[in-house]
Amino acid sequence: MARALELLDAGQVVALPTETVYGLAADALNPEAVARIFEAKERPRFDPLIVHLPEQKALDHVSKIETEIVPQLTQAFWPGPLTIVLRKRDTIPDIVTAGLETVAIRMSANPIFMKIAAKFGRPIAAPSANRFGQISPTRASHVFDELGGRIALIVDGGPTQHGIESTIVRIVNGSIEILRNGPITAEKLAQFAPIVKGRSSDTVAAPGQLPSHYAPHAKLVVVATLENVLGWSGKRIAALSFRDSTALHRFWTRAYLSERGDLREAAANLFQKLRQLDRQNPDLIVAELVPEEGIGAAINERLRRAAVK
Ligand code: AMP
Ligand code: MG
């Protein structure tokens, strides 16, 4: 556990047991640490992650509680396998929520996870500790099979208690909408508010399917290189590139993703830089694709998705 804390403090990822499945944990407030989660999982895209709180009090620090139902649910089911989707505060970096205005939050009841989270004292982002597209690990050995050699530490807490992922809900007009079924059943939740059946969270998580998924307001096009982009005179063109370059300076406004040409840093900055350009109301955003390697694939996927809107 001491080693896990050292790694979390250093912005590294570590596999931890929860009561549902093993999670791949990182400091939720550190965008580069979160980018490492996507790298380790080899996810070809950014999906919103679940944030695990160190204590109930932290809820107000990361999200806006807009209904009395939320404290009722947290009192009844936390720590435990219930994830609640709430409006996020700016404390949570955009890479955690894949640009969404909402954040999925829970508190794990696994004693090892709880101890580490409490000592760490900050929220922990943790998706299931498997490679992209593989099934969720319920034993440390499963994590080792999937991610051995790719991460520095797996904390072995034995087989997980539930073996299935947490229930995910959000509150809509005083009702509880179930986005993913899990250990906390509709029957248990119905004691607190009427239940409405949501779309399955697989559908929600599919590219472009999330209802409030962030997309720039401005029209966006992707290009292989900014070098050849000419003739935009009279238009307010915003340019986004991987690194700083002279080509950037021809544009009305500009941003680059990484000073040192590092894809992880680029991933950590992506959503924020897109917003920054979009807020200036350009006529068009021209985004240069990044090298299609490692986490670069997820960055390019996000840019292409913003372009087809
Ligand atoms: P995993 O951590 O691998 O169990 O997956 C996390 C799940 O939480 C995915 O199915 C996501 O779609 C879902 N999720 C995370 N954040 C949100 C959100 N803000 N709104 C809706 N679903 C979310
Ligand atoms: Mg998963």
pLDDT in tens, 153-173: 999 999 999 999 999 999 999
Tell whether 196 is covered by a domain: no
DSSP secondary-structure letter at 188?
A: H
CA of 98 to the centre of ligand 1 (A): 10
For residue 107, tell me if it sits in a domain. yes
Q: For all residues of the chain together, what is the average pLDDT?
A: 92
Question: Which alpha helices (H) appear in 24-168, and where do they start and end?
Answer: 31-41, 59-62, 69-77, 94-97, 111-120, 140-147
Per the structure, the complete domain to which residue 263 belongs is given by: 220-306
180 within 8 A of 167, measured Cβ to Cβ = yes
Q: Of the candidates 84, 28, 33, which has an alpha carbon nearest to the alpha carbon of residue 56?
A: 84
What are the pLDDT digits (tens) for 174-221?
A: 999 999 999 999 999 999 999 997 665 444 443 344 443 567 899 999
Is residue 292 domain-resident? yes
**Same structural domain for residues 48 and 139?**
yes
Backbone φ and ψ of 51, nearest 5°: -105, 130
Query: Are residue 253 and residue 155 in the same domain, yes or no?
Result: no
- Does residue 259 form part of some domain? yes
Q: Are residues 90 and 239 in the same domain?
A: no
pLDDT category at 55 given cuts 50, 70, 90 is very high
Q: Position 111: which residue type? A: P
Q: How many domains does the chain have?
A: 2
CATH assignment at residue 83: 3.90.870.10
**Lowest-pLDDT range, 43-52, 64-73, 222-231, 290-299?**
222-231
Is the CB of 168 within 6 Å of ligand 1?
Answer: yes
Residue 200 pLDDT: 52
Does residue 157 belong to any structural domain of this protein?
Answer: yes
Please state the pTM of the whole predicted model: 0.89
* pLDDT at res. 202: 47
Residue 207, phi then psi, degrees to nearest 5: -50, 130
Q: Can you read off the two tokens belonging to residue 212?
A: 């409030």
Cα→Cα distances 268→80, 105, 215, 273, Å: 29, 20, 17, 10
**pLDDT score at 298:** 92
CB atoms within 10 A of CB 23: 30
Q: What is the 3-state secondary structure (H, E, C) of 11-39?
A: CCCEEECCCCCCEEEEECCCHHHHHHHHH
Digit-coded pLDDT (tens) for 246-305: 889 989 999 999 999 999 999 999 989 998 999 999 999 999 999 999 999 999 999 998
Q: Contact at 8 Å (CB) between 92 and 29?
A: yes
Alpha helices in 98-196 (DSSP H): 111-120, 140-147, 186-189
Domain holding 238: CATH number?
A: 3.40.50.11030
> Could you tell me if the CB of 48 is within 6 A of ligand 1?
yes
Residue ending a domain, choose from 97, 128, 163: 163
Ligand 2: centre distance to CA 162 (Å):
15
Centroid of ligand 2 to alpha carbon of 309 (angstroms):
26
Considering only 71-80, 98-107, 222-231, which range has the smallest mean pLDDT?
A: 222-231
* Cβ(100) – ligand 1 distance below 6 Å: yes
Q: Are residues 232 and 152 in the same domain?
A: no
Q: Are residues 277 and 130 in the same domain?
A: no
Instruction: Please give the backbone phi and psi of residue 180, each rounded to the nearest 5 degrees, phi first.
Output: -150, 130
Tokens of 231: 């003739």
